[in-house]
Amino acid sequence: MNPKKNKQHHILNSSSGHMPAVRVWDVAERTQVAELHEHKYGVACVAFSPNSKYIISVGYQHDMIVNVWAWKKNVVIAANKVSSKVTAVSFSADSSYFVTAGNRHVKFWYLDHTKSSKVNATVPLLGRSGLLGELRNNFFSDVACGKGRKANSTFCITSSGLLCEFNDKRMLDKWVELRTSMATSLSVSEDLIFCGCADGTVRAFSPTDLHFICTLPHPHSLGTDIATHSLLSLQTENVRYPDTVAVSYDPTNRWLSCVYNDHSLYVWDVRDLRKVGKVYSALYHSACVWSVEVYPETRDGEQPRLSPGSFLSCSSDNTLRLWNTDAQNTTLSRNVISNDLQKVIYMDSNTSPLLDTDCTISSNSEKADPQTSDNRTGIRTMCVSPDGLHLASGDRNGTLRIHDLESMEEILDVQAHDSEILCLEYSKPETGLKLLATASRDRLIHVLDADREYGLLQTLDEHSSSITAVRFATNDGKVRMISCGADKSIYFRTAQKTEEGTAFTRTHHIVRKTTLYDMDIDPTRKYAVIGCQDRSIRIFNICNGKQKKVYKGSQGEDGTLIKVQTDPSGLYVATSCSDKNISIFDLYTGECVATMFGHSEIVTGMKFTNDCKHLISVSGDSCIFVWRLCPELTINMRQRLSDLKQNSKSVQKTPPNKQHTLGYNASQSNVRKSVTSLHNFSFFDSLILLMLFNVRSLSYQQSNICEHEGSGPRPRRRWSRRMGSMDLKVKSMLDLRQLESFAMPLFPSKTQDIHKDLPLPRNQELGSTISLQTIAAWVNFI
């Protein structure tokens, strides 16, 4: 990452498998140049020798192996065992020895170049323990060998807060107190030593005599409002800062990069230690991110509450965060902490969930049990109202909160469920209703009236297990609600008007043999797309509850589908699998058109952006990834969106009983009607009728165009036809495949309904399908 330009580049690890490995990458080319396998359980730390000939790797505590690699030859030239937990390693300036540090452990390892050069095999690694004296029972959290005039010295810090110096005889020569409750990290240059400590403290010392120089500025305090926070403001009392967990000094730019245990990153300019400045800073989620929502596009005449391109995320760190990665948008008010993060909404004043305790675990501490009640905090799901006014969120304790997105103030806080809320869904504007559905692990669905201060309209209790998804849809003039859950059931309900208001009654109940984890509705509002435990995508007709299609929703052979998400146009569906991979499929053919990988934990949420250029994914690894989609996919989605808008406008504006205004869309729908009525005709009769109808509809179009152009009838010669107004549209190979998937049966059975079913794949029997383009070609030929 370039802090000055705020630009990121990525090295993608395409290797698969679970074996621990030391991987060496060419940073400029972004390619892997070596893959070193020897460790069995994991690699705790690695280091290059200053001459770049060797790599040192130390395994996990159960592995207890120290390897010296001639990495260009992919061979271990020396190895030995360690009996203590090792947390850090550092090479001497002349590459003759290296030092490991850990629990009651500081050890010097010497490379015998005479043996390693003569024998092309692994030789025993010679090690000598440091003479710790009265500090022998300390936990040494980091180590760094000296440079320049102090090249013969070695510096260590203890977790209790001591900075120590070893001389060239491995003896602990002197130490100094850091005056902190905990020290975690160390960075040494020729003229400076930086020590990362608890409570956001970073202290600078002189390597020559360990004299204290200065303390760097603190980062932001925990729970701060980043929109109004200023690093230059006066420090208030009783504030808490995140612990510094890693420091790294760049002597060329004289920058110090610091990572804190609330997952924030700061780059400090330390050219003048009396006036330290900030080059860059960023603040991220510190725990699992559960959901992401893209701010909806506002309708004409409506004033948006948030900037275009904004999206929101919620996390187990008990915060809601507003992001905008559009660097070109100058209307955004950038804050002093982050370029991308616009606002943090804290659910309460407790700052403990904001810290990642795994970052600062010492030798004697245990990882917290995620199932304990103390850790059952955090926002589990959220949803933005279609008008962009409200943000609903549900936490792991069953509390429902509503925030006003203009003021960012909380307007409702109610205990809606007995256990965590797993899904929230607002009804869309076309339903004519403003409802909010909340679904929970307690097997209940509450339907709330968003127009009347979120009053309770109805509680539904048909499900016998956790409800994983609930969605609203409108078709055939009726408002539907569909829900699915861990009880393997799908319930289709229809809204009914009652004296009290609106109530939903069950119309269909479908049971499958697999758990249903997530659901989305396609933009036509005809089909429910469901991700299942058996890695399948199942598509159901919302009107009759029948399953229309099923196809594989993951490229791998392991895991289950966690999330499904259709794009704004309804052409594609994105899936996330528990194998941590993301795939994008053609919704109609089931063909995989893209795969993505990079998250280190399961992907818990995905959303396409409104401009169809990006896919945003969030994960249990606390990261948010913004993926750039292939331009071909973006073109196809935008084309489909424009077609959908044109179709909706033509349906609204076409006046009845005026044949001369019929356009292509009307003639196409008439062709479909004529095709569905040809059940009792022979093949040739059907063909003749189709041709005659197309000739007639084409004549309507010609007369219509001529009438608008104010000219006479067109010449009959084929090559002298005027094109009239012509829209040039970019097409691709995906469009051709899409046309095949939209081909219609020539003689459908009486039980089929072409208007309602998904486009069927091409049948293997010759001549069993015929497309509109083929019919038009036949008419032209005649």
Round the average pLDDT of the chain to a whole number and report it: 81
Binning pLDDT at 50, 70 and 90, where does residue 776 land? low
Mean pLDDT on 513-521 = 93
Is 246 in contact with 258 (CB distance < 8 Å)? yes
Tell me how far apart the terminal alpha carbons of the chain are, to the nearest angstrom.
64
488 sits in the region (left: phi over 0; alpha: psi -120 to 50; else beta) called left
Residue 86 in tokens: 């090792």
Q: Long-range contacts: 31-38, Cβ < 8 Å, 24+? A: 34/71, 34/72, 34/74, 35/74, 36/67, 36/69, 36/71, 36/74, 38/65, 38/67, 38/76, 38/79
Same-fold call for 1-129 versus 512-652: yes
pLDDT tens-digit map of 207-227: 999 999 999 999 999 998 887
Above 60 in pLDDT, residue 41? yes
Is 46 in contact with 20 (CB distance < 8 Å)? no
State residue 606 phi and psi, 5-degree precision: -145, 150
Above 90 in pLDDT, residue 476? no
Q: How far is CA 122 from the centre of its chain?
A: 44
Above 60 in pLDDT, residue 292? yes
Mean pLDDT on 275-287 = 93
Residue 565 in tokens: 């998400």
Q: CA-CA distances (angstroms) from residue 189 to 176, 196, 669? A: 18, 15, 75
The proportion of the chain whose per-residue pLDDT surpasses 90, expressed as a percent, equals: 58
477 sits in the region (left: phi over 0; alpha: psi -120 to 50; else beta) called left
Mean pLDDT on 318-342 = 78
Cα separation, 46 vs 57, in Å, equals 4
Alpha helices in 713-756 (DSSP H): 733-741
* Strands of the 341-346 sheet, one edge to the other: 289-294, 311-315, 319-323, 341-346
Q: Which residue has the higher pLDDT, 235 or 582?
A: 582
Bridge-partner residues for 162, per DSSP? Answer: 177
SS3 455: strand
pLDDT tens-digit map of 591-608: 999 999 889 899 999 999
Going by the DSSP 8-state scheme, the letter that residue 541 receives in this structure is: E
Above 60 in pLDDT, residue 549? yes
Residue 649: per-residue pLDDT? 65
457: Cβ contacts below 8 Å, ≥ 6 apart: 435, 447, 448, 449, 500, 501, 502, 503
Residue 430: per-residue pLDDT? 87
Class of domain 1-129: mainly beta
Q: Write the CATH number of the domain with boundaries 512-652.
A: 2.130.10.10
Domain limits of the chain?
1-129, 512-652, 654-781
Above 90 in pLDDT, residue 54? yes
Comparing 52-56, 127-131, 364-368, 659-663, which segment has the lowest mean pLDDT?
659-663
SS3 316: coil
Above 60 in pLDDT, residue 703? no
Is 235 in contact with 219 (CB distance < 8 Å)? no
pLDDT tens-digit map of 393-435: 999 999 999 999 988 899 999 999 999 999 999 999 888 889 9
Comparing 75-79, 116-120, 173-177, 629-633, which segment has the lowest mean pLDDT?
116-120
**pTM, full prediction:** 0.79
Mean pLDDT on 60-76 = 90
Q: Is 485 exposed, middle or buried (0-12, 13-18, 19+ CB in 10 A)?
A: buried
- CA gyration radius, the chain: 33
Is 377 in contact with 396 (CB distance < 8 Å)? yes
Above 50 in pLDDT, residue 744? no
Above 50 in pLDDT, residue 535? yes
Q: Which residue has the tokens 């107190």?
A: 177
Cα separation, 626 vs 606, in Å, equals 10
Is 140 in contact with 125 (CB distance < 8 Å)? no
Q: What angle do CA 592, 595, 601 make, to 5 degrees?
A: 130
Cα-Cα-Cα-Cα dihedral sign, residues 271, 274, 280, 281 = positive
50 sits in the region (left: phi over 0; alpha: psi -120 to 50; else beta) called alpha
State residue 145 phi and psi, 5-degree precision: -80, 145
Above 60 in pLDDT, residue 505? yes
Residue 593 in tokens: 């058109």
Which amino acid makes up residue 646? Answer: Q
Q: CA-CA distances (angstroms) from residue 751 to 442, 527, 748, 754, 756? A: 40, 19, 8, 10, 11
Binning pLDDT at 50, 70 and 90, where does residue 760 land? very low
pLDDT tens-digit map of 664-684: 333 333 333 333 333 333 444
DSSP H or E stretch at residue 497: strand 489-497
Comparing 185-194, 457-466, 683-692, which segment has the lowest mean pLDDT?
683-692
Cα separation, 288 vs 600, in Å, equals 11
Above 60 in pLDDT, residue 749? no
Residue 328: per-residue pLDDT? 56
Bridge-partner residues for 197, per DSSP? Answer: 183
State residue 516 phi and psi, 5-degree precision: -105, 115
Above 60 in pLDDT, residue 495? yes
Q: How many CB atoms lie within 10 A of CB 663?
A: 15
Nearest alpha carbon to residue 516 among 494, 541, 491:
491
Q: Which residue has the tokens 């400045």?
A: 277
Going by the DSSP 8-state scheme, the letter that residue 477 receives in this structure is: T
